[in-house]
Structure 1
Amino acid sequence: MKFPKVYPFLEKSSIFFEDFALVPIRYEDRFDIMKWRNEQIYHLRQSEPLTKENQDKYFKFVVAKLFIQEKPNQILFSFLKDDICIGYGGLVHISWIDKHAEISFIMDTSLEKIGFHKNWSIFLSLIEEVAFKELFLHKIFVYAFDLRPHLYETLKKSNYFLDARLIDHCYFDGGFKDVIIYSKLSGQ
């Protein structure tokens, strides 16, 4: 299967900053992504571990089709440092009518302790360029189970504001947890 390498609806499919890059999601990164998602399932909206078989099917039947849609409901990227994939994410649950999208991002689990703030901050600045300068969205936001307070500090430092707290919104590990939403508007 020849996997697409550019999003035709974006003027700039790849965005660069120093030795980091945001490139259209690459097929060869699918098993690293699967591994990270399975390791970090506790903070994702994922109910069971992924398998190689379902990851292959997802890339073939869902992700590949994102490249040919005029207005896909998600736009996914591989996040690279020195041309090595260290994370992935993008804009998901895109509302083209309301001009908003949720930010999704997950990095290599080994970087959660040593590069969390830096990687999140760089990813946010790159995805903002896509959201605000390429797609002309009005609002982007992070929807997070209230499990990782260190994420909120990173979002605040990147000028995101606390938009909502959904009380007891999700059931996790035997109890209900809040969902925290941090947002940023274009022009902020």
Structure 2
Amino acid sequence: MSQHSSFSEFDEGRTRHRGRRDRPIHRKRMTDPKGFEQEGEKPGEYLALGGFKASYGEYATSSIRMKDALPIMAWRNAQISALRQKEPLTREQQLQYFEEVVGKQFSEKRPRQVLLRFTLQEELIGYGGLVHVDWENSRAEASFLLETERARDVSLYQKECRIFMAFLQQCAFTALGLNKITTEAYAHREFHLQALDSSGFTREGTLRQQVQVDGTWVDAIVSSCLKSEFEGQGRAQQE
């Protein structure tokens, strides 16, 4: 997807994918979002993660599942002003993207993106991940999108954003061994930027009038977190 959320405004590589003509889908299982996992197959997991999972209370994260495609599509379409996405996604586009892009990267040792599902009491409430992964330079962009109704509650959003970002930092720095994760968040979402600040991200700079949102030019704020900072936070908590 590079369907990003305001953590790098979710781009997931979708920008390039959208540029191609949608090819017809002939596989019967694509008509059912749960069909990916209803044919006796195990849910896909990223080989690169080595079985990574994380939890905090009743919150948890693990590899994205193919059946998550349509809930995610609905959230993206409802929150398009927070994303790099330009047009509403169709069911066909979303299922095709999961089949041709997301699923095929599960078996790669160095995937271009790693998407994680975010659950509460085993119910999907959001997703995010690491996109535009640059393995040579050991960095990636962080992304996050929360279920639409939950995202309207600023206090809840900030709490759950911080929880997911803690999961994502574990994934990036511990499971994948990356050195740096960055975000590009739109300035009109100050509540989101505050959640990033309190998650250990440092604001690096401003990209002035980077995008238009509802006809208004909006700045993008670039923030980042380093592996050394993440490890330092862990040591401080132990002392």
TM-score range, shorter chain: over 0.9
Aligned residues: 188
Corresponding residue for 2:198? 157
Kindly indicate which of the two structures has a greater share of residues assigned to helix. 2
- Residue 129 of structure 2 corresponds to residue 68 of structure 1: no
Kindly indicate which of the two structures has a greater share of residues assigned to strand. 1
The Cα shift of 1:181 comes to: 1.1
Distance 1:11 1:61 in 2: 22
* Secondary structure of 2:152 counterpart: helix
CA contact (8 A) 1:4 1:67 kept: no
Could you list the runs of 4 or more consecutive aligned residues of structure 1 that deviate by over 3 angstroms after TM superposition?
Answer: 1-4
The Cα shift of 1:3 comes to: 6.7
Q: Which moved more, 1:120-129 or 1:22-31?
A: 22-31
- Residue 90 of structure 2 corresponds to residue 51 of structure 1: yes
Distance 1:172 1:94 in 2: 27
Larger radius of gyration: 2
Corresponding residue for 1:112? 151
- Residue 85 of structure 2 corresponds to residue 41 of structure 1: no
CA contact (8 A) 2:44 2:103 kept: no
* Aligned AA (2:203): L
Which ranges of structure 1 fall in alignment gaps of 5 or more residues? none
CA contact (8 A) 1:101 1:140 kept: yes
Higher relative contact order (CA 8 A, sep 6+): 2
Distance 1:42 1:3 in 2: 35
Q: Which moved more, 1:142-151 or 1:99-108?
A: 142-151
TM-score under structure 2 length normalisation: 0.75
RMSD over aligned Cα atoms:
1.4
Which ranges of structure 2 fall in alignment gaps of 5 or more residues? 1-35, 230-239
The Cα shift of 1:4 comes to: 4.3
